[in-house]
Structure 1
Amino acid sequence: MRAADGFTGRANSTLTCGDPGVPIREALAAAERFALRHGIAPTVHVVVGSEHEPAIADAGWRVNLDHPGGAESQVMTGPLEKFASGVAVSRDLPGWWDMTTGSEVTAAQRHVLGSGGNVCFASLTDNGTVVAAVRGAVVEDVLHVARLAVRPSHRRQGLARRLMGEVAGWGLERGATTCALQVAVDNQAAIGLYEELGCTEHHRYRYWTPAGS
């Protein structure tokens, strides 16, 4: 169960995996109480095709079709050594936050994106302005990549590929061997890039909420 003042779906949902130890309806009720207690929307994070999906639907929960990131996302994984390049990352850049979250950075955003020892923020600038950015975090031997963004005026110039190479090189230096990332299933441009870097689909997930919530 995770709560972070509403910032990102993963950080404000209950992950469903394994046996909850109680009937599914009781587990969902606990998730709903947790969410209401923390002032966030009741949400469960469900792997597509998992054994829990039918029971969650039978309990009156529905896929959140209005989720800002899209109703369905896929997790992709791949070996870092295939696309790692030179390392040019920074621990914190004001322009990075402006690029990925907006000018007003909340405490929840800083906690979700900045907490942990092995976290980096890579960015590229043009005339002093950040035009592309990405976040990387190493957990054991996996580099988790997130918040990849390129300004519309600088797209189709290879900046996303360059950033991915830099953050992959940073991850290799810290013992990571595998990359993991999430992307909306309708973001074909990003999926195409990740596939070119050697990443493949591992699984898909969706967020479910109580019907009528």
Structure 2
Amino acid sequence: MDPVFEVELRCADAWPAQVEERLGDWRLRAAGGFTGRANSTLTSGDPGVPVPEALHRAVVFAKANGIGPTAHVVSDSRHEDAVRSAGWVVDEGHPGGAESGVLVGSLAGFRGAEVAGVSVSDVPVPGWWELVASGTPTDAQRHVLASGTGTGFGVVERDGEVVAAVRGAVVGDLLHIARLAVRPSHRRRGLARGLLVGLAAWGAERGAVRCALQVAAHNTAAWELYESLGCVEHHRYRYWVPA
């Protein structure tokens, strides 16, 4: 299997949409507008029909589920020119940024000073939701973030308060890492790194040997953190919308 296709599929499995339809290898996804990944058509692989027809099906699906039609397209992939030729354009106004990088690395590279108060549980604590969902989660947020199997919810606590949080999901031998957040009052103290090291140990106990992260191209601080843990860019993808 193509390595880019394989990583994209595992990342998709780790981020379950509320509604998903298959079109060949493509995945048409909707989740009430929560995150681009869960509300776009993943165009990796073969849709089984001509790309213009597949994109039309994506538009119909999006309208039926109350979201805007969006295609998740791997940069420089065999489908990118076809998507462009069908009259779609890069969504430069996408809230999270039009382009993201997929970083991969070995969990063996996740090392750092031990941080007190790190824990990873099978269910999210209330303080976890506060950081990653800005308070009480919506149904879509609960589904995407907490409905999958093999999911871990990491936190750092100080005096009974959650000051850092992250989500991990093990899919096969891969740990998908997302939603890392640290309270502004506790940044620059090594908490993010310590939490990631703890999450990597949790994932390794469940059979993961590598990790993947999807990071917005403009989020330089996150790139620097993950690169310091041994992660490298695997590929990039962009969001496309009808012109």
Same fold (TM over 0.5): yes
Deviation of 1:154 (Å): 1.4
Aligned match of 1:65: 92
Identity %: 62
2:119 counterpart (88, 96, 117): 88
Could you tell me the TM-score, scaled by structure 1's length? 0.95
Cα RMSD (Å): 1.4
Matches within 5 A, 1:24-35: 24-35=51-62
Q: Which amino acid aligns with 1:147?
A: R
Give per-residue Cα distances to partners, 1:96-119, cap 9 Å, x unaligned.
001111113111101100112211
Matches within 5 A, 1:36-55: 36-55=63-82
Aligned match of 1:122: 154
Partner of 1:2, secondary structure, is strand
Partner of 1:89, secondary structure, is strand
Stretch deviating more after TM superposition (81-90 or 102-111):
81-90
Q: Partners of 2:216 and 2:158 in 1: how far apart?
A: 28
Partner of 1:51, secondary structure, is coil
Partner of 1:88, secondary structure, is strand
Deviation of 1:84 (Å): 5.4
Residue pair 2:110, 2:197 contacting (<8 A) in 1 also? yes
Aligned match of 1:106: 138
Matches within 5 A, 1:5-24: 5-24=32-51
Aligned match of 1:2: 29
Q: Partners of 2:45 and 2:143 in 1: how far apart?
A: 27
Correspondence 1:160 to 2:196: no
Give per-residue Cα distances to partners, 1:123-153, cap 9 Å, x unaligned.
1123332211100000110000000011222
Runs of 4+ in 1 over 2 A off after TM superposition: 84-88, 125-129
Residue pair 1:75, 1:202 contacting (<8 A) in 2 also? yes
Aligned match of 1:181: 213
Aligned match of 2:129: 97
Q: Partners of 1:158 and 1:7 in 2: how far apart?
A: 29
Q: Partners of 2:32 and 2:99 in 1: how far apart?
A: 22
1:202 counterpart (230, 234, 239): 234
Q: Partners of 1:81 and 1:146 in 2: how far apart?
A: 18
Q: Partners of 2:140 and 2:184 in 1: how far apart?
A: 27
Could you tell me the TM-score, scaled by structure 2's length? 0.83
Q: Partners of 1:37 and 1:154 in 2: how far apart?
A: 43
Structure 1: unaligned runs, 5 residues or longer: none
Partner of 1:99, secondary structure, is helix
Q: Partners of 2:163 and 2:220 in 1: how far apart?
A: 21
Structure 2: unaligned runs, 5 residues or longer: 1-27
Q: Partners of 1:92 and 1:107 in 2: how far apart?
A: 14
